[in-house]
């Protein structure tokens, strides 16, 4: 089993998905006008956080002008602004803002990853592209031995986390658990929680509010204080 550093190096070098490889490179070349003077990351984005984390957050995919620009999950866009502010309030982040990889932000007892590692067109990875990334999530679960609570941000992250756990030998309840905001699914070694994704579509419309995000993270913290049999 490789180390987290070795896994992240293999993620960064990945070219499994031709459509995503071309798209992330095109975005990094053309850029957005507001960031025209910045060098884009333009590669797959590895996970980020505390190697001894007990809380694992799983998002959908890097934003084209967020993580695809900065090279760090949920960094440099409105989704990240919302998420890291909440993680800071909950005590999982050292600061409330995540601007770029060198801004000094660290996570405490938390690790952030995603179902897809490259920015997809229209923020929609295909099923085949998600399947190509699934082994990376499985490897992270194996390399993060202290994880107890997994917080899936959105339905796709929820479903692919279930697939990863099943592929690792976990027994899933029947019928298959369905994503809902606030849902909790005990899965032997873990508790899988569902949360609306902190996209602008959700946060600007009030579907996901700061108080709702705070409540989810408070519940995750509470679960971490309770023993989960492994």
pLDDT digits (tens, 9 = 90+) for 2-20: 799 999 999 999 999 999 9
Q: Give me the residue spans of the domains in the chain.
A: 4-224
Q: What is the pLDDT of residue 78?
A: 95
Q: What are 12's two structure tokens?
A: 């960064």
pLDDT at 74 > cutoff 80: yes
Q: Give the integer Cα–Cα distance in Å for 173 and 31.
A: 45
Q: What pTM, to 2 d.p., does this model score?
A: 0.95
Q: Give the integer Cα–Cα distance in Å for 50 and 56.
A: 10
pLDDT at 73 > cutoff 90: yes
Angle at CA 143, nearest 5°, toward 141 and 147? 55
Q: What is the pLDDT of residue 174?
A: 87
Q: Give the integer Cα–Cα distance in Å for 158 and 21.
A: 24
pLDDT at 1 > cutoff 90: no
Q: Which H, E and C letters describe the chain, residue by residue?
A: CCCHHHHHHHHHCCCCCHHHHHHHHHHHHHCCHHHCCCCCCCCCCCCEECCCCCEEEEECCCCCCCHHHHCCCCCCCHHHHHHHHHHHHCCCECCCCCCCCCCCCCECCEEEEECCCCCCHHHCCCHHHHHHHHHHHHHHHHHCCCCCEEEEECHHHHHHHHHHHHHCCCCCCCCCCCCCCCCEEEECCEEEEEECCCCHHHHCCCCCCHHHHHHHHHHHHHHHCCCCCC
pLDDT at 228 > cutoff 60: no
* CATH domain 4-224 topology: Uracil-DNA Glycosylase, subunit E (3.40.470)
CA atoms within 13 A on the CB side of 40: 27
pLDDT digits (tens, 9 = 90+) for 84-123: 999 999 999 999 999 999 999 999 999 999 999 999 999 9
Please identify which residue in the block is written with the tokens 């984005």. 45
């Amino acid at each position: 089993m490789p180390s987290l550093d070795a896994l992240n190096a293999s993620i960064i070098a990945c070219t499994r998905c031709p459509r995503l490889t071309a798209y992330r490179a095109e975005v990094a070349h053309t850029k957005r006008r507001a960031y025209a003077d910045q060098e884009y990351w333009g590669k797959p984005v590895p996970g980020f956080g505390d190697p001894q984390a007990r809380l694992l957050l799983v998002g959908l995919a890097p934003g084209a002008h967020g993580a695809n620009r900065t090279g760090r999950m949920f960094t440099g866009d409105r989704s990240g602004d919302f998420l890291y502010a909440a993680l800071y309030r909950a005590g999982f982040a050292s600061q409330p803002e995540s601007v770029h990889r060198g801004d000094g932000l660290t996570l405490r007892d938390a690790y952030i990853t995603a179902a897809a590692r490259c920015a997809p067109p229209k923020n929609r990875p295909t099923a085949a592209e998600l399947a190509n990334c699934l082994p990376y999530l499985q490897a992270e679960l194996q390399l993060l031995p202290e994880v107890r609570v997994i917080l899936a941000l959105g339905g796709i992250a929820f479903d692919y986390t279930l697939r990863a756990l099943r592929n690792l030998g976990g027994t899933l309840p029947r019928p298959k658990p369905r994503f809902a905001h606030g849902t909790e699914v005990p899965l032997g070694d873990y508790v899988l929680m569902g949360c609306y994704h902190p996209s602008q579509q959700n946060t600007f419309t009030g579907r996901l509010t700061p108080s709702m995000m705070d409540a989810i993270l408070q519940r995750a913290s509470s679960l971490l204080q309770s023993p989960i049999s492994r």
